[in-house]
């Protein structure tokens, strides 16, 4: 009897306790207090699956026949067919009773959930189908997945009967597992690799199969099993008489351990493992050593500048002809290390690396992340979308949280807020389901950015506080906490607080960290509002350098906007808006129109201001950027677009400027913050409030919050 079946039977009552219960059109098969199967009465396919599984679990044919109300001959015939051809034949017997509208990718995901311990009822709830549908789609618990071909089925049957190591059967099982992987079934391959390892006599062959099993487990998101299999494989490789025979598999097992460490939130451990693996394999395979060092550079990026530099130094020390992926990586990290960026076309470099990484999930994940680092948000989202579909189809959900992080971040930065919310939510769910703490933590970044844009102060602060509590180096590890809180403050009219937060990212801007660099336009706006343009000089110079390196029109548009704010140059505002066209970055464009409209109003060109402000307001309301929409609405009011003749409330007697200031004061902003938002002096704000109080019938600003101000 196999170990899997023994585990199922452990503690189970004797066969004589097997019972069938029927109630409300449902059939429930129990053994003592244990529910073994539940299915709809009349569901022949599910009944047959239960029959085969009960026989496999050791219940006698006559007992099963009596419980199910069948003849012993029928039970024997079906049981023998399942043993000969696999449980898949039971599912195929009745297409009408087969699984409903569930895709192949969803079935792969369902297999992972089942391997992680989820019940069929829970899996059914997640897929929106009945638990019996899950049972039909996945087959009975405890069985190996349906083999890819007749040879594979024969190999599994021989393996089930094998009493000890058998290399011939192990080779056949390994081949069947490779067939699973070619068909996009990592979760299916896992059981076959494991059984092949169990039947292996040669320690190197066993280590190879364990490592292959570990890789498939990591790809399917089962980190615990991946770590255990990799550790077992490493022990074997280190114990062989001639360890150089197993260097390749030692290195790959270390690589699996690095993957697990990184996904669990320990990039430092991942970095060390990858360096160790590269050093181990370099004498035998420099190309593999190069690939491992590329991963080490990636993990080093999340640890610190020293680790990043060490990975780059070792990578260059191999003196191999750089691959397309290596060239893209070195281009992306060059500014971080204070190196000049090569003059190659960034779009071409990304396209070449993407093409070279085709079919390599880890490589494409890295390309997706580098696209975001290089400001190529549209490419990052395209790569993320395509790779997500491929990974789902292959059942490699272990890589999905990282892809969804990069794609969701690109969507959030690009102002596609609704898409970003969906992407980030899925990424968080998968990261939690698969124990990937690294991406659970990382996905807080786009989530906080979205919260800041819509003015959700409670969520934004909660996410930032949780992130800060987990690190001793926030400027390197979680710079997004300052950038998102800075955006939140700026949107809510707290320019002084926003500038103070964003100025803490000075070091990150010099290293071109994504949140620090991308928050530069927010810093420039806050500095201009506070009358401190000198505070924007160095950050904007660095941003201009980054913009030139990206070669992207959207970054150039933001440079033009920043320069327009500093110089008061209308041509620069118009140039920025022209560059925004066709970029599909609604938040950036709406903010540019809002700032241009504010400038036009201050220039007494109210009609021109209204045209820009109306467009900005409509966009900001559509994407849910509430505080920014409120600003646009207040600016429109200040242009006199809402005539006082239509206002019958207490605010009807106020001038547009007074109403704008009173509204901001009612929100709790100080005179200094109001002055910064409206490009006035604090003294002027105080004067307008002094004139507004008698008109409103109040004596102080504390009473403003109770008024309906229209």
Question: 357-393: string of b/e by CB count within 10 Å (b at 16+)?
Answer: beeebbbbbbbbbbbbbbbbbbbbbbbbeebbebbbe
For residue 50, pLDDT over 60 is answered with yes
| Residues 451-494: tens digit of each pLDDT | 999 999 999 999 999 999 988 777 777 899 999 999 999 999 99
For residue 380, pLDDT over 80 is answered with yes
Q: What pLDDT band is residue 383 in, cutting at 50, 70 and 90?
A: very high
Q: What pLDDT band is residue 623 in, cutting at 50, 70 and 90?
A: very high
For residue 615, pLDDT over 60 is answered with yes
Calculate the alpha carbon distances from 27 to 40, 133, 190, 587 in Å: 6, 14, 32, 56
145 inside domain: no
Question: Rounded to whole angstroms, how far apart are CA atoms 133 and 137?
Answer: 6
The pLDDT > 90 percentage for the chain reads 41
Q: What pLDDT band is residue 573 in, cutting at 50, 70 and 90?
A: very high
482 inside domain: no
Whether residues 202 and 237 fall in one domain: yes
The separation between CA 70 and the C-alpha centre of its own chain, rounded to angstroms, equals 50
pLDDT on residue 115: 66
Q: What pLDDT band is residue 186 in, cutting at 50, 70 and 90?
A: low
Question: 691-707: string of b/e by CB count within 10 Å (b at 16+)?
Answer: ebbeebebeebeebeeb
| Residues 510-565: tens digit of each pLDDT | 888 899 999 999 999 999 999 999 999 999 999 999 999 888 999 999 999 999 99
Residue 334 has, within 13 A of its CA and on its CB side, a CA count of 18
Q: What is the largest CA-CA distance in the chain?
A: 98
Residue span of the structural domain in which 369 resides: 150-382
527 inside domain: no
Whether residues 175 and 320 fall in one domain: yes
pLDDT on residue 132: 59
Whether residues 177 and 132 fall in one domain: no
76 inside domain: yes
Whether residues 161 and 131 fall in one domain: no
Tokens of 556: 């150039």
Tell the burial category of 508 from Cβ atoms under 10 Å away from its Cβ (0-12, 13-18, 19+): buried
Mean model confidence pLDDT for the chain: 82
709: region left, alpha or beta (phi > 0 left; psi from -120 to 50 alpha): alpha
For residue 591, pLDDT over 90 is answered with yes
pLDDT on residue 137: 58
For residue 368, pLDDT over 80 is answered with yes
Instruction: Output the pTM of the full model.
Output: 0.69
pLDDT on residue 246: 82
The alpha-carbon radius of gyration of the chain (Å, integer) is 31
Question: Rounded to whole angstroms, how far apart are CA atoms 471 and 165?
Answer: 49
Dump the DSSP string for 647-662. Answer: --SGGGGS-HHHHHHH
| Pairwise pLDDT comparison (44 vs 98), residue with the higher score | 44
For residue 507, pLDDT over 90 is answered with no
73 inside domain: yes
Whether residues 72 and 186 fall in one domain: no
Contact 267, 436 (CB under 8 A): no
CB atoms within 10 A of CB 525: 22
Q: What pLDDT band is residue 145 in, cutting at 50, 70 and 90?
A: low
75 inside domain: yes
Of the listed ranges 19-28, 626-635, 643-652, the one predicted with least confidence: 643-652
Tokens of 435: 């124990």
Whether residues 219 and 191 fall in one domain: yes
pLDDT on residue 699: 67
Number of domains in the chain: 3
Contact 287, 248 (CB under 8 A): no
Whether residues 371 and 347 fall in one domain: yes
Q: Which of 88, 112, 138 delimits the end of a domain?
A: 138
| Residues 240-279: tens digit of each pLDDT | 777 777 889 999 999 999 999 999 888 999 999 999 999 9
pLDDT on residue 4: 34
For residue 12, pLDDT over 50 is answered with no
pLDDT on residue 237: 83
Q: Which of 117, 138, 159 delimits the end of a domain?
A: 138
Whether residues 131 and 156 fall in one domain: no
| Pairwise pLDDT comparison (64 vs 649), residue with the higher score | 64
Contact 485, 501 (CB under 8 A): yes
| Residues 346-362: tens digit of each pLDDT | 889 999 999 999 888 88
Q: What pLDDT band is residue 295 in, cutting at 50, 70 and 90?
A: very high
The domain that contains 278 carries what CATH number?
1.25.40.10
Whether residues 156 and 70 fall in one domain: no
526 inside domain: no
Characterize the bridge pairing of strands 18-23 and 34-40: unpaired
Whether residues 33 and 166 fall in one domain: no
Of the listed ranges 96-105, 207-216, 604-613, the one predicted with least confidence: 96-105
607 inside domain: no
Question: Average pLDDT of 305-320?
Answer: 88
For residue 148, pLDDT over 70 is answered with no
Q: Which of 95, 112, 138 delimits the end of a domain?
A: 138
Whether residues 357 and 321 fall in one domain: yes
Q: What pLDDT band is residue 94 in, cutting at 50, 70 and 90?
A: very low
Q: What pLDDT band is residue 117 in, cutting at 50, 70 and 90?
A: low
**Straight-line distance from the first to the last Cα atom of the chain, in angstroms, rounded to the nearest whole number:** 78
The domain that contains 701 carries what CATH number?
1.10.10.10
| Pairwise pLDDT comparison (319 vs 495), residue with the higher score | 495
Whether residues 280 and 155 fall in one domain: yes
The pLDDT > 70 percentage for the chain reads 82
């Amino acid at each position: 009897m196999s170990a899997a079946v023994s585990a199922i039977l452990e503690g189970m009552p004797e066969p004589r306790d097997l019972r069938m219960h029927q109630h409300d059109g449902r059939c429930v098969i129990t053994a003592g207090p244990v529910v073994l199967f539940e299915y709809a009465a009349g569901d022949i396919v599910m009944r047959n699956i239960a029959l085969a599984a009960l026989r496999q679990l050791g219940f006698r044919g006559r007992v099963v026949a009596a419980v199910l109300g069948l003849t012993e001959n029928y039970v024997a015939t079906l049981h023998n067919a399942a043993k000969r051809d696999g449980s898949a034949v039971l599912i195929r017997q009745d297409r009408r009773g087969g699984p409903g509208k569930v895709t192949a990718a969803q079935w792969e995901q369902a297999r992972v959930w089942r391997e992680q311990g989820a019940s069929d009822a829970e899996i059914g709830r997640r897929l929106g189908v009945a638990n019996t549908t899950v049972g039909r789609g996945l087959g009975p618990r405890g069985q190996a997945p349906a083999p890819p071909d007749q040879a594979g089925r024969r190999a599994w049957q021989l393996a089930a009967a094998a009493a000890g190591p058998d290399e011939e059967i192990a080779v056949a099982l390994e081949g069947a597992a490779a067939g699973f992987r070619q068909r996009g079934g990592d979760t299916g391959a896992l059981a076959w690799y494991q059984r092949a390892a169990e039947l292996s006599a040669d320690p190197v062959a066993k280590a190879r199969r364990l490592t292959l099993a570990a890789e498939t487990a990591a790809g399917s998101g089962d980190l615990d099993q991946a770590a255990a299999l990799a550790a077992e494989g490493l022990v074997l490789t280190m114990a062989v008489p001639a360890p150089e025979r197993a260097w390749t598999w030692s290195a790959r097992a270390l690589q699996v351990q690095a993957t697990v460490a990184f996904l669990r939130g320990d990039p430092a451990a991942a970095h060390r493992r990858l360096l160790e693996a590269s050093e181990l394999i370099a004498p035998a395979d420099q190309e593999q050593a190069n690939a491992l060092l590329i991963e080490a550079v990636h993990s080093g990026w999340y640890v610190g500048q020293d680790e990043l530099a060490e990975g780059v130094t070792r990578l260059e020390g191999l003196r191999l002809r750089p691959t397309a992926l290596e060239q893209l990586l070195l281009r992306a990290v060059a500014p971080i290390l204070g190196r000049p960026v090569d003059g190659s076309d960034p779009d071409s470099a990304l396209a070449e690396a993407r093409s070279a990484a085709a079919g390599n999930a880890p490589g494409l994940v890295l390309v997706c992340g580098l696209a975001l680092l290089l400001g190529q948000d549209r490419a990052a989202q395209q790569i993320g979308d395509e790779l997500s579909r491929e990974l789902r189809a292959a059942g490699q959900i272990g890589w999905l949280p990282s892809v969804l992080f990069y794609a969701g971040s690109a969507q959030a930065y690009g102002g596609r807020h609704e898409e970003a919310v969906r992407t980030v939510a899925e990424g968080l769910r998968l990261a939690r389901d698969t124990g990937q703490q690294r991406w659970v933590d990382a996905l807080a970044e786009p989530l906080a950015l979205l919260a800041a844009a819509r003015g959700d102060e409670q969520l934004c602060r909660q996410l930032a506080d949780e992130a800060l509590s987990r690190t001793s180096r926030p400027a390197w590890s979680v710079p997004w906490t300052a950038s998102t809180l800075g955006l939140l403050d700026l949107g809510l009219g707290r320019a002084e607080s926003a500038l103070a937060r964003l100025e803490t990212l000075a070091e990150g801007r010099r290293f071109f960290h994504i949140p620090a660099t991308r928050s530069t336009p927010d810093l420039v706006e806050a500095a201009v509002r506070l009358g401190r343009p000198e505070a924007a000089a160095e950050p904007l110079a660095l941003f201009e350098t980054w913009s030139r390196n990206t070669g992207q029109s959207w970054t150039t548009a933001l440079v033009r906007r920043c320069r327009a704010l500093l110089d008061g140059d209308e041509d620069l505002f118009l140039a920025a808006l022209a560059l925004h066209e066709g970029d599909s970055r609604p938040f950036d464009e709406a903010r540019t129109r809002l700032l241009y409209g504010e400038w036009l109003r201050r220039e007494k060109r109210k009609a021109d201001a209204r045209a820009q402000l109306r467009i900005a307001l409509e966009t900001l309301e559509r994407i849910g950027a509430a505080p920014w929409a409120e600003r646009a609405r207040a600016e429109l009011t200040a242009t006199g677009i809402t005539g006082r003749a239509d206002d019958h409330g207490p605010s009807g007697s106020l001038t547009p400027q007074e109403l704008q200031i009173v509204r901001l004061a009612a929100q709790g902003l100080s005179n200094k913050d109001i002055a910064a938002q409206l490009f006035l002096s604090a003294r002027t704000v105080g004067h307008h409030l002094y004139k507004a109080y008698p008109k409103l019938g109040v004596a102080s600003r504390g009473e403003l919050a109770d008024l309906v101000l229209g």
